[in-house]
Structure 1
Amino acid sequence: MPETARRAFANCSVFGAIETVGDAWSWLLLSEAIIDGITRFASFQSRLGIARSTLSARLSSLCVNGLMDHDERGYRPTEMGADFFGCIMAAMAWADRWNTADRHISRRVAHIGCAQSIHAELRCAACGELVRARDVSFDRRPDPAVALSGVVTRRRAPGLDLLQRVRPNPTAATLQVIGDRWSALLIRECFYGSHRFDEFQQRLGIAPNILSHRLRRFDELGILTRTAYQHRPLRHQYRLTEKGLALYPVPLAMLAWGDRWVADGRPPVRLTHENCGRRLAPVLSCSACAAPIARSDTAFEDN
């Protein structure tokens, strides 16, 4: 990895995770491999309805970045790729709660340990309490992304409306909201306390037309609410709604994954769980019994 990219990734583990894993299609490929055991190119294509060229490019990128291995048996997650399970589960949990228009997309997840139907939660390793966005503080904000010129890999934004073309999928439902780079980074900025258009633009280095589109879309989806703070000229600020705040486990899981695999275990941003005053280490947990869970502790079944 070039030194400029290494420094940029070390500045923010969420950014590092976004750039290392890729877009919504890469998430879905990892989900198919980790949860359903899919290994073959043709199977990925038929299950996702993804174009061959897009599939080839995403699989190649996942292999180059260390999340998958490829041999005569097909494509298989590495330890690094398999550990992305927590991010996928966080995305599924949000869709199960908030995608009220398409309840039929849910997958039943059972915790083998307690034999209950569950969704995943993130709990504080120190005190065991459920982690909520308003209960977490941070020691620094990542440096503005405008300093990352030449680091960000150019890639075409995925067609988010195509993610569930073949069959409904709760992970895809969440990715239809935050499954492109700018949407994910914009949500990250909201949780770091950014509220205004010029602040988003300065911190992300995003083109005004792209930013306007993402903010308008989040407003329409009920993720952000827009209110005027100045009238001449008219200026708005944007704040997370309850639905938007509920997305917090997704970037938090990405941050934790990025801390482990991109930042080499040296978190660039240290979080504190204010409820117990301890450094926050989020643990993927069962919603029924609160025990830590991994892929081997869960069973999946389509509704």
Structure 2
Amino acid sequence: MRSRFFVFMLFVLSFSVNTHAQRSLRESYIEEYAQLAVSEMSRSGIPASITLAQGILESGNGQSELARKSNNHFGIKCHSDWKGAKVYHDDDAKGECFRKYNKPQHSFEDHTDFLMRGSRYAFLFELDPSDYKGWAKGLKKAGYATAPDYADRLIKIIEDEMLYRFDDPGSSTPALTSGKGPVLDKKGRPVTNARERFVLRRVQSEGTRVVFVRLQKGDRLEYIADSLRLSTAALLQFNDWTHEVVVAEGERVYVDEKKRRGATKTTLVRVGETMHGISQREQMKLAKLYKFNDFPVGYQPMVGDEIRLRPVSLIKRLQGK
């Protein structure tokens, strides 16, 4: 009987020590990265509680091999557009490619950019920044993770650790002074010359095509590009613009590459519309629009002309179809 009791007590003690160690690691993680999460919320509108909870869950309180050796705290895979360093780990499949960063801060910043630029996550930015439950469920719905209980696990972490307090930096949240991110004032704003926040609720999309914002009074392309961690040159390229462009208030500004073909086969030219205007309306590359219609660059069609939005075979073109 004493032997069984002794074994039971050893088990209880071991479980208690392990639980305490995990809590200590989690508390240290929150203390270290809370500033970064709040700073990224200020830049993007993504709740700091969601960023912290995802970091905690995906990195195992910062102790996963991917986090320790590659500074990847969010389990973001390479994808076709990734140009940075890579590392390979077994995940859903064997030897999957993951992004590697020089330091954790870059992982937090890339996590923000990944969500901001991904069209499947665009609907999340219509939610209130304090709606962490909506964000958690939305991330699961958008396919961020395959675990069926992913949203519930995020919500539990947020509520167990009261991470929602970081979603309102102007409240009674204790001062964030020990993290590696920029120093914040009492309202959660970076003390250094912080750029204006990009209002992500302006991000729109039509169907499953390209995300864009509409230019508002006082906007500058440099401001929009910088807010999304894009170069101005990239923004100009996405929109088929030159450096001399003057963008009118209310015009679309695409923040990702337009499509190579239209959603339909053809469209009709509207009053006052140019080839560039059609390419913006149809969310497709201007060069492809000229190519599909056998137009020389610079040619402008007449009102009512039918414009091809998809390639047509040589035989059909010769037949006038």
Bucket of the pairwise TM-score, normalised by the shorter protein: under 0.3
Structure with greater strand share of residues: 1
**TM-score scaled by length of structure 1:** 0.24
Taking structure 2 as the reference length, the TM-score comes to 0.23
Bigger RCO of structures 1 and 2 (CA < 8 A, at least 6 apart)? 1
